[in-house]
């Protein structure tokens, strides 16, 4: 799995290099304190990075909730297994 992730990261980085090389122009970035001339490739990399970071932050909430639910269910399954084993150990009474 790590190898697949590494391949994906390398492909995305190569795509970023291709985009940077094919877009050598610069843009004018207007912000509150002034104006800056920034290469388009830098703006694209920053936008991609911010999007990835926001995606990770949003998915962390769901991931943590699912991990918590998973641990609760594992504890419940373990208690159920112990209870079933205890019930199997009880001798049956003849009537």
| Band of pLDDT at residue 84, cut at 50, 70 and 90 | very high
**Is 95 part of a structural domain of the chain?**
no
pLDDT value at residue 75: 97
The four Cα atoms 55, 29, 21, 7 give a dihedral, to 10 degrees, of -10
**Is 94 part of a structural domain of the chain?**
no
**Is 93 part of a structural domain of the chain?**
no
Q: In terms of residues, how long is the chain?
A: 95
User: Given a cut of 90, is residue 74 above it in pLDDT?
Assistant: yes
**Is 61 part of a structural domain of the chain?**
yes
Which two three-digit tokens encode residue 12? 């995305």
What does the pLDDT look like over 31-69, one tens digit per residue? 888 898 988 878 877 888 898 889 889 999 999 999 999
User: Given a cut of 90, is residue 71 above it in pLDDT?
Assistant: yes
**Is 58 part of a structural domain of the chain?**
yes
| E strands present in 1-95 | 26-31, 34-39
Which two three-digit tokens encode residue 53? 């970071």
Give the 3-state secondary structure of residue 92.
coil
d(CA 25, CA 48): 18
Instruction: State the residue for tokens 């009880």.
Output: 90
Q: Please state the pTM of the whole predicted model.
A: 0.57
């Amino acid at each position: 799995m790590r190898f697949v992730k590494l391949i994906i990261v390398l492909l995305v980085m190569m795509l970023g290099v291709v985009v940077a090389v094919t877009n050598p122009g610069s843009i004018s970035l207007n912000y509150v304190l002034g104006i800056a001339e920034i290469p388009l490739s830098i703006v694209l990399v920053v936008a991609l990075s911010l999007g990835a970071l926001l995606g990770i932050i949003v998915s962390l909430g769901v991931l943590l909730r699912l991990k918590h639910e998973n641990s609760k269910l594992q504890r419940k399954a373990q208690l159920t297994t112990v209870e079933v084993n205890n019930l199997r150990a009880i001798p049956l009474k003849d009537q």
